[in-house]
Amino acid sequence: MSAERLHRKQRLAASYRLFAELGFEVGLAGHFTARDPIETDHYWINPLGVPFTQIRTSDLLRVDGQGQVVEGNGLLNTSALELHYQLQQARPEVIGIAHLHSFHGRVWSSLGQLFQPITAEASAFRGEQVLFDRNALRDAGGGLLQDRDLVARAFVEAFAGHNLLVWQNHGLWVTGQSVESAAWRFILADDTARAHLLAYAAGQPRVPEQLEGASNPAQRELFAWLNFVPLWDRIVQQQPDLLD
């Protein structure tokens, strides 16, 4: 289990480096967590303020269920602790949870729509996505719901068993049964958002009337994991300091 912990931490650090290359880092926004395999109600996350390009395995923080850092040094981003923790608790199969403020994902989320299978890549999200509108959550007086725990509960209930959540006017969230699959799924989701924005700006894309049967969850996880492997191989060769 100690080896598995190191494995997840290394892939998490590598993912942050890859996200930086892809332009997913926007100020202090964004977070990608990996469930700890030993203390399974804990997760690993990046320290606040450390550029994604400089994150090393040793920089990562381990956070417990009370939102306290129990291992590692650095500032903790507390903006989404409830969301990660409650989603992790509700879905024991989930290892990685990623939410970055990627440009195309943010723009697409403003439209309040899900992806259509207009490309082969987009079809990977068929039956796997859901829309979440934070602005629709109101308290008893009709005002915008501000209670963080209640918002987190609504978020988790909306996410349900899906692997992609489009947060209205905010961006994309993904889950994965490994750090690798979650990382690739977010990369693919932002690329799909970009393809949709370009396609709909150019005209009205044709959506296939009939599609082949959807792959099963295990196949989707394997596909995502496999696509991450060459990215891992490249980033480790080019930036071996991430393993420090």
Q: pLDDT (tens digit, 9 = 90+) per residue, 4-33? A: 999 999 999 999 999 999 999 998 889 999
Closest CA relative to residue 172, chosen from 230, 238, 110, 93: 110
DSSP structural state of residue 60 = -
pLDDT at 95 over 80: yes
Residue 140: pLDDT band with limits 50, 70, 90: confident
- How far is 219 from 232, CA to CA, in rounded Å? 20
pLDDT of residue 170: 94
* Res 213: pLDDT: 53
What percent of the chain is predicted at pLDDT more than 70? Answer: 98
Query: What per-residue confidence (pLDDT) applies to 29?
Result: 87
- Report the distance separating Cα 188 and Cα 65, nearest Å: 30
- Please, what are the domains in the chain? 2-243 (3.40.225.10)
Residue 73 backbone phi and psi in degrees, to 5: -125, 140
Q: What pLDDT was estimated at residue 209? A: 76
For 57-216, where are the alpha helices, taking DSSP H only? 81-90, 103-109, 148-159, 179-202
Model pLDDT for residues 190-231, shown as the tens digit of each residue: 999 999 999 999 999 998 876 655 568 889 999 999 999 999
The model's pLDDT over 156-195, given as tens digits with 9 standing for 90+, comes to 999 999 999 999 999 999 999 999 999 999 999 999 999 9
pTM of the model: 0.94
Indicate if the pLDDT at residue 129 is higher than 90.
yes
Residue 92, CA distances (Å) to 17, 95, 107, 119 in order: 27, 8, 31, 31
- Check whether 236 has a pLDDT greater than 90: yes
Res. 146 pLDDT band, cuts 50 70 90: confident
Confidence of residue 154 (pLDDT cuts 50, 70, 90): very high
Mean pLDDT, range 68-86, rounded to an integer: 92
pLDDT of residue 135: 86
Q: Which helix (H) or strand (E) holds 11?
A: helix 2-21
